Structure 1
Amino acid sequence: MATSDTSKPLRGAQARQAVLDAAGDAFLADGLRKTSIESIARAAGVSRPTVYAHFADKEDIFRTIVAKLHDEQFTAMRAATTSDGPVAGRLHAALLARFAPFVALTSSSEHGAELLDENSRVCGDITRASRTRSLRVLEQVLKDGERDGELDLAALDLTAAQAARVVYDAARGAKEDASVTPAAFRRSLQRLVDVLLRGLAR
């Protein structure tokens, strides 16, 4: 005999998280442009009004997901720089923590290029704020390298802050191709750090 579904509808934080999870899957599968609030609500097991109770529109959902990714990656980036060791290894680990998760996501979706474009359009302020935080971490690593005698920034008339911007922007550029695989990005990042630090070495 069939039984009725007595499960309670999702509410509050559970409903919000279900929407974020469903939307994240939908954006990867279909891209932001083709994903609708209706399809997100259906996949999350909630009503459209429930989605709108938590988010203004699908771009608001996208921004929330991107902001969380940035926060997680910044935390991992900071953790990667706390270990002892040569500055090259710490920089590589920090940049890998910062960018590799995005590379893994965009390369796993046939809509990766679109998601990168939409990220620039919808989440520019989030990206800029994340860049500012990340630069402070890289600047400290470079200052440590200079203090420990590994780097000679003054020889190139560079401050640690300027060198941090060069390193960060070069690494960010390496991930902007949506077709790059995580393994290829890792190799490119290693070469990039090696070349840049060779020029900064004492």
Structure 2
Amino acid sequence: MAADRNADVLDATLRCLLRYGVRRTTVDDIATEVGVSRSAVYQYVRGKDDAVRRVADRLHAEALADARAAATADAPLATRVEGILSAKVALATGPFAESPHATELFDEQARLCGDICRVFTDELHTLLTEALAAQHFDRPEDTARILLATTVGLLSSGRPDLLSHATDALLDGFRRHPNSHEHI
């Protein structure tokens, strides 16, 4: 039962964050959203900042599990790479796309959650590098960084729907011209 209530508190925190943002969300807002007292919320989180970090951590952990599953799938490289990158896209789309406050949870520069976001991106980079190295790509670490940067660019331009096309084009280009990114 405590695990269910903990999940309820984190779910309520997420709803409040998407509605009000980090600065305007209070423990009282979270308590009201869950339907418990303020003191009951403190049984599950140390405070608002702890709740925000735990929500961000949970969302990133879920996305990372999806990325790991994509990385180990029995599929062509392009499909696996797109699956890994889709984990990053999933954090910025869906219910989060409608909230002006989503970046507070998913931006590497965010005050409360930036470190969680950076660790997540580093993990994606590792998965990409391993997948590319297994296919004997020249400079897989750099290619992985380019793929991640392209994904961020697609997100910021509002065109994450181009991820599949961009992945195919980049992988094809690096296969044909393995030294074309020598001065990265």
Q: Give the TM-score taking structure 2 as reference length.
A: 0.82
1:72-100 Cα deviation digits (max 9, x unpaired): 11111111122333322221122113322
C-alpha distance in structure 1 between counterparts of 2:130 and 2:108, whole Å: 31
Please show how residues 148-167 of structure 1 align to structure 2 within 5 Å: 151=137, 153=138, 159-167=139-147
Higher RCO structure, 1 or 2 (CA under 8 Å, sep 6+)? 1
2:147 aligns to what SS in structure 1?
A: helix
Which of the pair is proportionally richer in helix? 1
Instruction: Spell out structure 1 runs of 4+ moving beyond 4 A.
Output: 113-119
Amino acid at match of 1:129: V
1:74 aligns to what SS in structure 2?
A: helix
- Could you say if the C-alpha distance between residues 176 and 62 of structure 1 is closer, same or farther in structure 2, counting changes exceeding 3 Å? farther
- Could you say if the C-alpha distance between residues 113 and 80 of structure 1 is closer, same or farther in structure 2, counting changes exceeding 3 Å? closer
- Could you say if the C-alpha distance between residues 112 and 68 of structure 1 is closer, same or farther in structure 2, counting changes exceeding 3 Å? closer
CA RMSD in angstroms comes to 2.4
Match of 2:74 among 84, 104, 108: 84
Amino acid at match of 2:169: V
Structure 2, unmatched stretches of 5+, are 177-184
Q: Which residue of 2 aligns with 1:8?
A: none
Amino acid at match of 1:59: D
- Could you say if the C-alpha distance between residues 200 and 62 of structure 1 is closer, same or farther in structure 2, counting changes exceeding 3 Å? same
Structure 1, unmatched stretches of 5+, are 1-10, 154-158
C-alpha distance in structure 2 between counterparts of 1:121 and 1:101, whole Å: 18
Q: Give the TM-score taking structure 1 as reference length.
A: 0.75
Aligned sequence identity (%): 32
Instruction: Determine whether 1:100 maps to 2:100.
Output: no
Between structure 1 and structure 2, the one with the greater Rg is 1
C-alpha distance in structure 2 between counterparts of 1:140 and 1:91, whole Å: 10
Task: Count the aligned residue pairs.
Answer: 176
2:170 aligns to what SS in structure 1?
A: helix
